[in-house]
Amino acid sequence: MTIRTKTQDQNFSVAKKGNPVIRSVKSRSVRRGVVGTALTAVAALVLAACGSGSSDTPAPAAAGGGTADVGVMQAGTLTVGMNLQFKPEMYLDEAGKPAGYDVDLLNKLATELGLKLDIQNLDFNGLIPGLQSKKFDMVSVGLTATDARKQVIDFSRGYVPYTSVLAVGQNDNSPATVEAYNSSGKIITALQGSSGEQLAKKTFPSASVKSFSEQNAALLEVATGRASGSVLEDYILAQYQKANPNQVKKAALPNPLDLSYGSWAVQKGNTALQQKLDAFLCKAQNDGSLGQLYNKDFGVTDFPAMPAGC
């Protein structure tokens, strides 16, 4: 596996020094299309790239070694655009090497396809335009397959679940229902500007939603009894619990507050690679390896149901 860094942006330097929990939540909000300003910026880049496609760029070439139907640009190599700052999904470890769930899955994919994995680390906003201009074969950054994005790129089936849950105090004995927390006397916290904030307002309209600039501060309100619960993704809660045992727990609701999926993206019309990705993901889903990698890298014990159709 090789890694090439196309941009060393200031945002990444700052993010490495910051709280990884906060960075992960904000990053997922952008990828899921929740934060308006970030989505607008991405959409603008997508539209610009759509109007300036390079017609002299070669179409995907056949890969050698018995993989002629894979649909990669360079024979024998799978070139992947990523943004390695979303720990624990994809990031650079202490040795400066790619690590995380996506990287583990891509290594498994490349091995199965008989290809060399070439990771290109770019700023997030350059990924979709880069894919359109054929800088790489696919993007692996947990993108949500929105209608706007589907107009310019194609997607695989879902490979990474985004599970939002309610964190409550360790000694909370409230009934395990949404209604138990949806009243005027309840305070629900969330990270400011995150998908959790929007979900909290939607799920608990009768409660008071209080937003914080730091995820840990939102959870501390719950741990100290100043709030009834906090809406966030399950793996972030697992990280907090590991660092702060016996403070908060996941509410025993019968279902997650929200469950969506991130997908791999490929160049528009590259059905050969898209079909290979779908077949690989179905196999990994059915044999349990997808859930095993997710549980290992995200530190959660419950792998949610994945999309049907395999």
DSSP code per residue over 204-219: -TTSEEEEESSHHHHH
* Lowest-pLDDT range of 63-67, 187-191, 214-218: 63-67
Asked if 297 and 103 touch (Cβ cutoff 8 Å), the reply is: no
Q: What's the whole-number mean pLDDT along residues 293-308? A: 90
Instruction: State the pLDDT at residue 275.
Output: 97
pLDDT digits (tens, 9 = 90+) for 66-84: 444 789 999 999 999 999 9
SS3 annotation, 251-272: CCCCCCCEEEEEEEEEECCCHH
Fill in the DSSP letter of residue 304.
P
Mean pLDDT of the chain: 83
Q: Residue written as tokens 């079909």?
A: 275
* Whether the predicted pLDDT of 8 surpasses 90: no
**Cis peptide upstream of residue 60 (ω within 30 degrees of 0):** no
User: Please, what's the b/e burial string for 42-76 (b: 16 or more CB within 10 A of its CB; e: otherwise)?
Assistant: beebbeebeeeeeeeeeebeebeeebeebbbbbee
- Beta-bridge mates of residue 116: 77
Q: Domain residue spans in the chain?
A: 2-161+261-298, 162-258
Per the structure block, which two tokens stand in for 116? Answer: 């060399």
Q: What is the CATH number of domain 162-258?
A: 3.40.190.10
Which residues have C-beta within 8 Å of that of residue 255, sequence separation ≥ 6? Answer: none
Backbone angles phi, psi at 298, to 5 degrees: -90, -15
pLDDT digits (tens, 9 = 90+) for 203-237: 999 999 999 999 999 999 999 999 999 999 999 99
CATH 3.40.190.10 fits 2-161+261-298, yes or no: yes
pLDDT digits (tens, 9 = 90+) for 31-58: 665 543 343 344 444 333 333 333 333 3
* Whether the predicted pLDDT of 6 surpasses 80: no
Helix (H) or strand (E) holding 51: none
Instruction: State the pLDDT at residue 11.
Output: 32
Confidence band, pLDDT 50/70/90 cuts, at residue 194: confident
Backbone angles phi, psi at 67, to 5 degrees: -120, 40
Asked whether the domain spanning 162-258 has the same topology as the one spanning 2-161+261-298, the reply is yes
The model carries a pTM of 0.74
Helix (H) or strand (E) holding 154: strand 153-169
Pairwise CA distance, residues 252 & 264, whole Å:
31
pLDDT digits (tens, 9 = 90+) for 108-155: 999 999 999 999 999 999 999 999 999 999 999 999 899 999 999 999
Confidence band, pLDDT 50/70/90 cuts, at residue 307: very high
Starting at the earlier edge strand, list the strands of the sheet with 90-92: 85-86, 90-92, 98-99
Instruction: State the pLDDT at residue 2.
Output: 64
